[in-house]
Amino acid sequence: MIKSIFSLLFVFVLASCTTTNDTKQNSEEAQSVKLSYAKRFAIKKATNYTVLELLGNRNNAEVTATFVLYTNEKPTNFSDAYYIKIPVTKIASMSSIYTTMLEKLNARNSIVAIDNADYYSNEFIQQQVKTNKIVELSKGPKMDIERTLALKPDLMLTFGMGNPKNDIDQKLLNANLPVAITLDHLEETPLARYEWIKFVACFVGKEAMADSLFSITEKKYNEFKALTKNAISKPKVLTEIKYGDAWYVPSGKSYMSNLIADAGAEYLWSDNNSTGSTPLTFEAVYAKAKDCDVWINTYNANSKKELLSYDERYGLFKAFKDGRIYNNNKTQNANGFSNYWETGMTSPDEVLADLIFAFHPDLLPNYSFKFYKKIE
């Protein structure tokens, strides 16, 4: 009898100790990591796990999805979260932007799949695709879901609006394939977009490297930006061309609007309080921008003649007549895609320098364009 009571007491004490340890692990509160510019994600760190939160709603800071990254034991104190074991070694990178980030983080060998090689200038990626070491998952308009499931990546990096239930194919959700959504395209400044390298770094255990890379770029960006403070004048800038029936101009709170301002120019729609793009008619754009000084980002046009072939009315703009048109397609691959879309978002300092040179060539003597070229 005494032996039985002693045994029962031992089990009770052991269970109490175990419960206490588990509770300690699960109740540990993750601490926020300070971000400098990005507003669409948050990082919180605990001893044994990292929490990434997406803030997909444009009008508030509501968390629309939570990702819990862990190395050994899976935490149990998150009721509505997506769990991913790290570091991941097999990544399906569904944008060349994420691929470039992984390359900067010395993690390119973790890439096992991409969206479409036609978009890439990167020789490593092209070679890996040719030798079937990297798989293309969306050669056409839709992603090959069955091939994706068969590949079984540790992680898929893709973009959306911040809610996996809406952004991710139901088959992938049902298969519990780890998918991380990025919202860099919703950020409003160049440095905010680039700061998403810290988000990507969490999955491959390269947080310190991401911090270092970001600090270096931030310093260069702000040094270029400082050059424009003493600019004598601010040229009026027009962007884009008509697409279909609408001319989608960047809104006043957009990434491009802020980039133009940092480059020391006046964006004609800077008073528009929206983010993203605003669709306008040709007539509305012409009424406001006919006397613009500089015109940038003219789709894939390589010459003024080609631009006129899209619409002869483009020749009516002052920037066209004065020959101050600059397009971000200096370097193109065999399929005609510019590397601006591949590496420009992760090199905001170089993009800024290009625009400063276009707007204020006297501020950067002996400079050569990295992404842009003058359209003759």
Residues 194 and 279 in one domain: no
Task: Choose the final residue of a domain: 169, 184, 217.
Answer: 217
CATH number of the domain bearing residue 147: 3.40.50.1980
Task: State the pLDDT at residue 57.
Answer: 82
Q: Are strands 325-327 and 294-296 parallel, antiparallel or unpaired?
A: parallel
Q: Look at residue 21 in the predicted model and tell me its pLDDT.
A: 39
Does residue 62 form part of some domain?
no
Task: Confirm whether 166 is domain-assigned.
Answer: yes
Considering the domain architecture, whether residues 205 and 320 belong to the same structural domain is answered as no
Do both 302 and 236 map to the same domain? yes
Report the alpha-carbon distance of residue 262 to residue 224 in Å, rounded: 9
Q: Do 94 and 210 sit in the same domain of this protein?
A: yes
Looking at the structure, tell me whether residues 255 and 339 fall in a common domain: yes
Query: Tokens at residue 159, please?
Result: 């973009």
pLDDT recorded at residue 19: 37
Structural domain count, the chain: 2
The answer to whether residues 325 and 368 belong to one domain is yes
Same domain, 254 and 364: yes
Let me know if residue 243 belongs to a domain: yes
Establish if 10 belongs to a structural domain.
no
Is 356 within the bounds of a domain? yes
**Contact criterion met (CB below 8 Å) for 49 and 29:** no
How many CB atoms are closer than 10 A to CB 376?
9
* pLDDT at residue number 145: 92
Domain range for 327: 231-374
Torsion of CA 287, 310, 376, 338, to 10 degrees: 110
Long-range contacts of 219-225 (CB under 8 A, 24+ apart): 220/349, 221/190, 221/191, 221/262, 221/348, 221/349, 221/352, 224/349, 224/352, 224/353, 224/356, 225/262, 225/263, 225/352
Instruction: Indicate if 245 and 368 belong to the same structural domain.
Output: yes
Q: Where are the alpha helices (DSSP H) in the chain?
A: 2-27, 96-104, 123-130, 145-151, 164-167, 170-174, 190-194, 197-204, 207-227, 255-262, 282-289, 304-310, 318-322, 340-343, 348-359
CA–CA dist 27, 363 (Å, integer)? 55
In a shared domain, residues 147 and 185: yes
Look at residue 2 and tell me if it is in a domain.
no
Residues 244 and 162 in one domain: no
- Is 122 within the bounds of a domain? yes
Q: Which of 217, 242, 269 is the last residue of a domain?
A: 217
Q: Are 342 and 285 in a shared domain? A: yes
Q: Tell me how many degrees the CA angle 223-228-231 measures, rounded to the nearest 5.
A: 150
User: Does 253 share its domain with 358?
Assistant: yes
pLDDT at 20: 36
Q: 42 lies in a domain? A: no
Q: In what order do the strands lie in the sheet with 294-296?
A: 266-267, 236-239, 294-296, 325-327, 373-374
pTM: 0.90
Note the pLDDT tens digit of each residue in 314-368.
999 999 999 999 999 999 999 999 999 999 999 999 999 999 999 999 999 999 9
CA trace torsion 222, 227, 233, 237 (10° rounding): -40
pLDDT on residue 80: 86
Is 310:318 a contact under the CB 8 Å cutoff? no
Q: What are phi and psi of 4, to 5 degrees?
A: -65, -40
pLDDT < 50 stretches in the chain: 1-26
